[in-house]
């Protein structure tokens, strides 16, 4: 088993298993496993456990690229996509294009309401804001919302924070890990892993929870 985070990985073995029954944060998981790591883990970063040897897992860099025409196309898609349920006064702060491989391109579009707080959000975007409202997409012949499996028609998209965490290769296949939560609360969170090796993004793993 391998524990994987951005810029870090470590082999791991099970150390202790215990019941998760009664945990106030409902994930549907009945038992939890505590892991013994081969090296210390970084603090306050998103991690995922992969059932494979560490030597077989390779993190893929997310290289930011520029394409103004494509950014405009993405903005139009987000504003007109009914499933995203945007409020009419929402503004698109920035779109980042992230190259994973010669054939795989991702994007993240950060959103904010039209008020005086927008400038505050913009200051955080340079480092990649993990708590900004976000629409992560797989960019190809079509645009695919990587959060579509957890979107709610009752919750506007601008209340969904998080975004793309990391990408990795395993057994010749490319995967992207993303995380989401409801802004300003702990009523919902999710971890998603998509297989990007085909023509469309295929959900390989989903973990959701909430109070």
Question: Could you report the per-residue pLDDT of 97-147, keeping only the tens digit for each?
Answer: 999 999 999 999 988 766 656 666 666 665 555 556 778 899 988 899 998
Q: What is the pLDDT of residues 76-98, one digit of tens each?
A: 998 888 777 777 777 888 899 99
Domain that holds residue 111: 63-209
* Residue 48 shares a structural domain with residue 80: no
* Residue 14 shares a structural domain with residue 71: no
* Residue 72 shares a structural domain with residue 158: yes
What is the Rg, in whole angstroms, of the alpha carbon atoms belonging to the chain?
A: 18
- In angstroms, rounded to a whole number, what is the distance separating the alpha carbons of residues 203 and 171? 17
- In angstroms, rounded to a whole number, what is the distance separating the alpha carbons of residues 111 and 158? 6
Separation in Å, CA 183 to CA 19, 54, 157: 29, 34, 10
* Residue 30 shares a structural domain with residue 108: no
- In angstroms, rounded to a whole number, what is the distance separating the alpha carbons of residues 70 and 66? 9
Model pTM score: 0.85
Structural domain total, the chain: 2
Q: Pick from 106, 95, 102, 180: which is nearest to 137 by CA?
A: 106
- ∠ CA 202-77-134, nearest 5°, is 70
Query: Using an 8 Å Cβ cutoff, are 162 and 179 in contact?
Result: yes
């Amino acid at each position: 088993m391998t524990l994987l985070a951005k810029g870090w990985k470590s082999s791991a073995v099970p150390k202790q298993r215990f019941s998760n029954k009664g945990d106030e944060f409902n994930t549907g998981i009945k038992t939890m496993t505590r892991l013994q790591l081969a090296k210390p883990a970084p603090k306050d970063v998103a991690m995922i456990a992969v059932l494979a040897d560490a030597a077989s897992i390779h993190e893929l860099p997310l290289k930011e690229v520029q394409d103004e025409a494509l950014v405009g196309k993405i903005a139009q898609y987000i504003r007109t996509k009914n499933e995203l349920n945007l409020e009419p006064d929402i503004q698109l702060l920035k779109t980042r294009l992230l190259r994973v491989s010669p054939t795989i391109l991702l994007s993240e579009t950060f959103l904010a309401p039209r008020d005086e707080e927008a400038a505050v959000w913009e200051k955080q975007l340079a480092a990649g804001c993990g708590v900004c409202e976000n629409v992560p997409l797989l960019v190809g012949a079509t645009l695919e919302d990587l959060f579509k499996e957890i979107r709610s028609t009752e919750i506007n998209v601008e209340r969904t924070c998080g975004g793309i965490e990391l990408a990795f290769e395993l057994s010749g296949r490319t995967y992207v890990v993303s995380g989401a939560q409801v802004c300003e609360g702990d009523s919902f969170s999710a971890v998603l892993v998509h297989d990007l090796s085909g023509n469309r993004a295929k959900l390989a793993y989903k973990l959701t929870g909430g109070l």
